[in-house]
Amino acid sequence: MRLRVNLHLERAMAIPINHQHLLTGVVYRFLESADADYARFLHSTGYAPEGETGARRFKLFCFSPLRSRRRDIQGETLWLGPGEAEWMVASPVEKFLREFATGLLSEGALRVGATHLPITGVETLPLPRFCETMRFKCLSPIVAAVAEQEGDKRWTRYLRPKDPAFGERVRQNLLGKHSALHGTPPQDDRLTLAFDADYLAEHRGTKKITFKDIEIVGAFCPFTLSGSRELIELGYHAGIGEKNAGGFGMIEAVK
């Protein structure tokens, strides 16, 4: 399910251009005000794939950046409004959505750093019709990364859209999420990701986000998913790729 938080700004308001980590804090703050035990579980533990000891755990939610028709970037500052703005949050976990909405409605505003953004309402968005081939656009960058090592030196290499390993990393990530959510693998585990070649011929197709002083590179390019409808739907709700709880991998279906 996907929620849209509607905001109304009486005047232009400033937030950091790299504000994803602040929104992660907003999510956990809303959860804590509704159910502190669940907030602690999700933040510290998360959902683990069934029967996989030491496997990566998943938060199973994603969110968009703050969006407004009126926006202006000045250095490291993003100015939003005046006027309407929105924030979208999604998850396949009913409890997450219920506790998030409860906490959100009790506060009445988004506190993003030192800026308070008044909430005018929250609504559930209609779902697209999921099928075996669908076209999407990125609302936030899609992260696929591999760990590399040379001697004692270790680092993370972020894959670019033209890297042939990108799609398989996304598929394996979704298989882990499915196991964490349902306890079983999907009946159909096929998934192919194809970025828009025409778009990449004219654009780099990546976006760099600074998250708590760490520079993260993700794909930011239209793409097509083909294969398992179950995995495609899960990616729509839980996010595509890695670091979804940090504000990465939220997508939108293109009609």
Buried-exposed string 137-173: b where 16+ CB fall within 10 A, e elsewhere: ebbbbbbbbeeeeeeeeeeeebbbbeeeebbebbbeb
Q: How far is CA 47 from the centre of its chain?
A: 16
CB–CB of 188/228 below 8 Å? yes
- Give pLDDT, residue 46: 94
CA neighbor of 248 nearest in space, from 170, 147, 131: 170
**Domains of the chain, earliest start first:** 2-124 (3.30.70.1890), 133-253 (3.30.70.1900)
Distances, alpha carbon 57 to alpha carbons 134, 178, 184, 242, in Å: 27, 11, 15, 11
Q: Which runs of E-coded beta strand occur in the chain?
A: 2-9, 13-16, 62-63, 67-68, 71-74, 77-80, 83-90, 109-112, 115-124, 133-138, 145-150, 153-158, 191-195, 206-211, 214-219, 223-227, 251-253
Write the single-letter amino acid at 65.
P
Q: What distance in Å separates the CA atoms of residue 219 and residue 142, rounded to the nearest whole number? A: 5
Q: Tell me the whole-structure pTM to 2 decimals.
A: 0.94
* pLDDT tens digit at each of 255 positions of the chain: 999 999 999 999 999 999 999 999 999 999 999 999 999 999 999 999 876 656 689 999 999 999 998 999 998 899 999 999 999 999 999 999 999 999 998 888 899 988 999 999 999 999 999 999 999 999 999 999 998 888 888 889 999 999 999 999 999 999 999 999 999 999 999 999 999 999 999 999 999 999 988 999 999 999 999 999 999 999 999 999 999 999 999 999 998
Q: Which residue has the tokens 């079983």?
A: 184
Q: Is 163 helix (H, G, I), strand (E, B) or coil?
A: coil
